[in-house]
Amino acid sequence: MTAFKHDEFSYRYPHNVYGHVPGSHSGSSLGTGDRFAGFADLFDYPDPRRIDIRASVRNNMANGGISANDRWLVRRFQQRSTVTLWLLADMSKSMSVSNVNHQRLANLAHMIAHSAIGLGDKFALAGFDSHWRQDISIMPTRQRNMSTIAADLIEQAAPASAPGSEGLIEAANMISSPHAMVFLASDFCCDISIIEKTLRKLSHYTVIPIVWQHDDVDHLPSHAGWTEMRDAETGQHHAVWMRPTMKKRWQSAMDEHFEKLSTCFMRHRIRPLLVDGEVTGEQLTHYFMGMKKS
C-alpha cells in the first residue's frame, strides 16, 4: 500500500441539482438553503419559522388594507444538494506508458474520492480497457476510506487482457446517477468514434476529460534511421526507416488525431484538461474556476 498525498480540489456542479439529500451544490429542490426561491402561503407551506412579516404586510396593504382574508407569506429556499463524481479510468496498456504503471491514475482517483466525499458527494469508479473492468469498479458511495481503496484497486489491478479502449462505452453505461460529474481519464489514443459515442451517451452529465498526454518520445521514438517499435497495447512490431518525410507524415497523423479529438470535445461543449505527468488539485481547481456557472 502506498501513501497518497491528501491533495484535493474544490469544485461546484455547474447546474442545479434536484435531490432530497442536502449537499453543497445549488439545487432545484426546495428546503433549507441560502438561495431565496420566492414566497408561499403559510397554509401551503406550513413553516412558521420562515414567516416574512414585512413581506406579508406589504402584500396585504397592496391588496387593499388589512382584512379577514389576509395571507401570511413564508419565505422559501432552494436546498443545496449532492452530486456523484464518477471516474472512468482507462486501464489499457497504453496508459501505463506515460502513467508509471497506473500510479498517477491511482493518485487521481484518490484525489477525486477524497475531495468528493469530503464535500459530502458520492464517489464512484468504473475502470475499462477493451471491456468494462468489473474488478476496478466502485458503485456510488460516501464511505470515508473509499479514496484509499479506490487508489489501491487501480494500482494493484491486473493488466489488461486485450488491447483496445472499447470498454469505455460499457463503462459509460454504468453511470446511473441522475446528477454526476464524470471524469474521463484516458490518453485518448483510440478511435475517435468511441469517444464520440461515449460523449453522446454522457451528454446530460458534466464530463471532464482528462487527456493524459504522452511524452513526444513515446509517440515518435526516433527522428532518423532504423526504428523498431512495439505497440504498447497490441504488442505488434513495427519498423520504419525514419527520415524527414516520414517524420512529417507521422507528426501530421498525430496532429490530425488530436485535432479531431478537440473538435469532438468542442462539439459537445466540453473543455478538456490536458495533463502531462501528475494531475494536481491545483490544476483541477483552476479548471473548475474557469467553468461556466449556470
Residues that bind other proteins (CB under 8 A): 94, 97-98, 187, 189-190, 214, 216-234, 236-242, 246, 249-250, 253-254, 257
Residue whose CB is less far from other proteins, 29 or 222: 222
> What's the closest the beta carbon of residue 165 comes to other proteins, in angstroms?
10
Residue whose CB is less far from other proteins, 61 or 274: 274
Residue 215 CB neighbours (<10 A): 12
> What's the closest the beta carbon of residue 104 comes to other proteins, in angstroms?
15
Residue whose CB is less far from other proteins, 82 or 94: 94
Residue corresponding to grid cell 432552494: 78
> What's the closest the beta carbon of residue 225 comes to other proteins, in angstroms?
3
Residue whose CB is less far from other proteins, 9 or 212: 212
> What's the closest the beta carbon of residue 237 comes to other proteins, in angstroms?
7
> What's the closest the beta carbon of residue 90 comes to other proteins, in angstroms?
12
Strand boundaries in 11-156, DSSP class E: 22-25, 30-41, 73-78, 81, 84-90, 122-128, 132-141
d(CA 102, CA 92): 10
Residue whose CB is less far from other proteins, 100 or 239: 239
Residue corresponding to grid cell 526516433: 222
DSSP 8-state secondary structure symbol assigned to residue 233: T
Q: Among residues 8, 7, 11, which one has the least CA distance to residue 288?
A: 11
Are the C-beta atoms of 113 and 146 separated by less than 8 Å? yes
Residue corresponding to grid cell 453522446: 200
Q: Among residues 214, 87, 59, which one has the least CA distance to residue 146?
A: 87
> What's the closest the beta carbon of residue 243 comes to other proteins, in angstroms?
9
d(CA 21, CA 79): 9
Residue whose CB is less far from other proteins, 53 or 217: 217
